[in-house]
Structure 1
């Protein structure tokens, strides 16, 4: 990787009009009062950074479930998947990844498979780090059927600032691990509902990289990971 590629990341097309709006406002602010213009320029750079879409090194071994989002693991607990996904009433292990407004917000498929269900539900815009955000907030969920017939749920959840969930995929579509499937604008959360009897290999507070960090491994019976902050 070249030095400039460390700092200059490609931007997802979804962000172009937002960057253009921020830039236009910055120009107006410069005309009004130069210090305000510099603030507008800073906001424009942040907007570009928010919509960055860097390449990721996706692990290729079968059976690895990777993080669908950049951010921090905020919850690991048993939870019943959203009813609209049709995954039943039994609790599954849910791993929640919270994204701040400084994280990359392009979401990636946690594992290869076919999208057998996509369901959008309008809702509130509570702080996405709260447990009840999974039930009350606007969300868009996918059910991915894997090659072995098992399924996995992944849910995009709008947050306190987020006001738009974007999906790039359709029901029936085949996806590869790490493939881009959507984004959420301006702060949010992703929930992954693991298949039965699959233990998470991440810990609370762990930093996640979408498409790279392994959440779980279908080919191991290792217990859930325990970690300590030091």
Structure 2
């Protein structure tokens, strides 16, 4: 594709697809150019560096999160929707969780989300820094909840690149971990449950934890001991 017909928007969309498939370590201008059907040099006319490309891609995916209308839903419903929307977005793009440790993200996509998040908690009666703390607490919880899936995705790719069968290696590690767990009563009792899987947790763990967090924030707002 000639650089005259290539657009930054198309480059960013393709970069997101590449990141979803190959992770941060798989993103480079040559691989991106191949997906676009053009030379890597053509990409450089629109995006100068990999870092710039990651920042552009990382900001665009925030637009996938639906912002609830605060005139039609209560703040708790809005907070749940935004948190579950953020969790779903991070699950679709696990590379973004990893990128938080290496890149400083900013842009209109993330700003749009963050501004509405503050509006949710202000609507819920959290004023000033209390709204900031509430929004930050929920964001941190969601980010931590998405970390397991992100780590598993990255690990699976690395094991495959190293020449191994990722699933086989993971299962072998689980078998060894289960042998260790047999020595501990509470872990032993859970070996036959879904929680025994690699980076696994019982169903609805995220939803129940989120509700508990919002309950705590609400109680603190109301001065409930």
Q: Same fold (TM over 0.5)?
A: no
Query: Which structure: greater helix fraction?
Result: 2
Greater relative contact order structure (CA < 8 Å, 6+ sep) = 1
* TM-score bracket for this pair, using the shorter chain length: under 0.3
Query: Which structure: greater strand fraction?
Result: 1
Structure possessing the higher radius of gyration over alpha carbons: 2
